[in-house]
Amino acid sequence: MAAQPTIPRRCLFIGGGWREPSLGRRLPVVNPATEATIGDIPAATAEDVEIAVAAARDAFSRDGGRHWSRAPGAVRAKFLRAIAAKIKDRKSDLALLETLDSGKPLDETNADMDDVAACFEYYADLAESLDEKQRSPISLPMENFKSHILKEPIGVVGLITPWNYPLLMATWKVAPSLAAGCTAVLKPSELASLTCLELGAICMEVALPPGVLNIITGLGPEAGAPLSSHPHVDKVAFTGSTETGKRIMTAAAQMVKPVSLELGGKSPLIVFDDVDIDKAVEWAMFGVFANAGQVCSATSRLLLHEKIAKQFLDRLVAWAKNIKVSDPLEEGCRLGSVVSEEQYEKIKKFISTARSEGATILCGGARPQHLRRGFFIEPTIITDVSTSMQIWREEVFGPVICVKEFRTESEAVELANDTHYGLAGAVISNDEERCQRISKALHSGIVWINCSQPTFVQAPWGGNKRSGFGRELGEWGLDNYLTIKQVTKYCSDEPWGWYQPPSKL
């Protein structure tokens, strides 16, 4: 087991330095795998939001934007690459902090840190190529006009992020917004803020211009809400629950402030009868047990072709019982604890409601017997589910999969789309044409074929319906933080000639 590090005691990161929260309050940091309080984080309030937004505004327009918002993309790229390098240097201590804060297995948090560094590097490249895309001409039907577009940073952005991939979800917003030339105020989740505060330390080390990125930790209603309604915040990007997403959109609407929302999901995985069962079982497990199912795109509804259903479930149970559930710091751990006591109780309630509604808990459903402390839940497989049950309809955000059988392709698609959500969907089949048909038929922003969950910074990420709107990652992730200006010029020497000229006399 790795040595326990000391948890850095940080303040709010505002204007390029550390700042005590105005009311002097702090929140405990709980390690959900041990239930021990291991440190604390500052609790920002509206007073601090005010100071952070002012710092970001100042950084946006300082010296006419020459050093940031209007600087060549290459200038910003240099900082993004320097941040990526520091993340790589500190990979193992950041991964350890992330695990202690969230209960995620160390192998997962190490992979997350690789993704964090790769995301900063990717958007460094895009910051550079943004300059080449400026002034791209618009072809007009009149020769006496010429038009081009400018892509400009949208301004000061508020970034509100969740706890399931604490530093990675922040990076999906910080890297593209900074690449675009925006300045930002990041409000990570109060349940896991340690690595985001370390990002503040990294910004200091690379001498990011003061105020370009500000990081304020604190509670949603106290720190997130005033950020989303602030008149000097030009856009809010949010990942989290659908309920909080609605609140943020309502607050932003009062200022006609654009938002992008990446919300909950209840994504389907459809498995046909022409597959290699063990390979498909492994993807089904990865789709809902990775990160203890605390993934917005988790494929938590499993649709099995009736011909293979029994055999598939037998293998799924065997594989699930073989998952190493342990302290997330232990070598080879594949299922750690969930993030908090509240989340733990919520998941257990989902399972007991499923049972009382008549579903069968085929395996799991409780605390693993060998782990007496910590918020651990066994991998859970639920069958005998009807489409009206809560467990089929609502996002659990835990290591819980529910299963239904289907007979025909159209029945599978209908079941898959029968949800208010629309983030992701997956299909496993050896019939390529069928996979293509299904990828068109699913009402979701992401479709995986013969896999579930692999995520690439180059590819767009986001949902439809109540899973939100807007796309992160890829070039679309950069567009989230850019506004498009048309510049149109009259280039004829002739007068316009619409009005009669007055007589010269």
Ligand X SMILES: NC(=O)C1=CN([C@@H]2O[C@H](COP(=O)(O)OP(=O)(O)OC[C@H]3O[C@@H](n4cnc5c(N)ncnc54)[C@H](O)[C@@H]3O)[C@@H](O)[C@H]2O)C=CC1
Ligand Y SMILES: N=C(N)NCCCC(=O)O
**Residues near ligand X, by CB under 6 A:** 160-164, 187-191, 220-221, 224-225, 228, 239-241, 244, 247-248, 263-264, 296, 343, 346, 395, 397
Q: Choose the one of Na ion, ligand Y, ligand X, none that binds residue 453, judging by a C-beta under 5 to 8 angstroms depending on kind.
A: ligand Y
Decide: is 472 part of the binding site for ligand Y (CB under 6 A): no
Among residues 7 and 236, whose Cβ is nearest to ligand Y?
236
CA distance 76 to 184: 14
226 CB contacts (<8 Å, ≥6 apart)?
Answer: 45, 46, 49, 50
Catalytic residue among 262, 395, 409, 472: 262
CB contact at 8 A, 452 and 299 = yes
> With CB under 6 A, what is the number of residues at the site for ligand Y?
11
Q: Give the footprint of ligand Y on residues 297-326 (CB under 6 A).
A: 297
At 293 the three-state DSSP class reads helix
- With 0-12 / 13-18 / 19 or more C-beta atoms within 10 angstroms meaning exposed / middle / buried, residue 440 is exposed
Shortest distance in whole angstroms from residue 291 CB to ligand X: 10
Shortest distance in whole angstroms from residue 165 CB to ligand Y: 5
Among residues 117 and 196, whose Cβ is nearest to Na ion?
196
Among residues 45 and 164, whose Cβ is nearest to ligand Y?
164
Q: What are the residue ranges of helices labelled H in 181-308? A: 194-205, 225-228, 242-253, 277-289
Q: Enumerate the β-bridge partners of residue 41.
A: 27
Q: Choose the one of Na ion, ligand X, ligand Y, none that binds residue 221, judging by a C-beta under 5 to 8 angstroms depending on kind.
A: ligand X
The phi and psi torsions of 163 (rounded to 5 degrees) equal -105, -5
Q: Which residue in 14, 180, 296, 347 binds ligand Y (CB under 6 A)? A: 296
CB contact at 8 A, 172 and 238 = no
Decide: is 295 part of the binding site for ligand Y (CB under 6 A): yes
119, two tokens:
């995301």
Among residues 247 and 434, whose Cβ is nearest to ligand X?
247
Shortest distance in whole angstroms from residue 104 CB to ligand Y: 11
Torsion angle of the four alpha carbons 329, 335, 336, 337, in this order, in degrees rounded to the nearest 10: -170
CA distance 59 to 19: 17
Decide: is 101 part of the binding site for Na ion (CB under 5 A): yes
415, two tokens:
């079941």
Based on the residue annotation, tell me whether 222 is a catalytic residue of this protein. no
Q: Per-residue DSSP letters for 329-349?
A: TSTT--B---S-HHHHHHHHH
Decide: is 455 part of the binding site for ligand Y (CB under 6 A): yes
Region from 17-25, 100-108, 416-424, 454-462 binding Na ion, contact rule CB under 5 A:
100-108
Give the residues lining the site for ligand Y (CB under 6 A): 115, 164-165, 168, 239, 262, 295-297, 453, 455
- Residues with catalytic annotation? 262
Give the residues lining the site for Na ion (CB under 5 A): 30, 101, 192
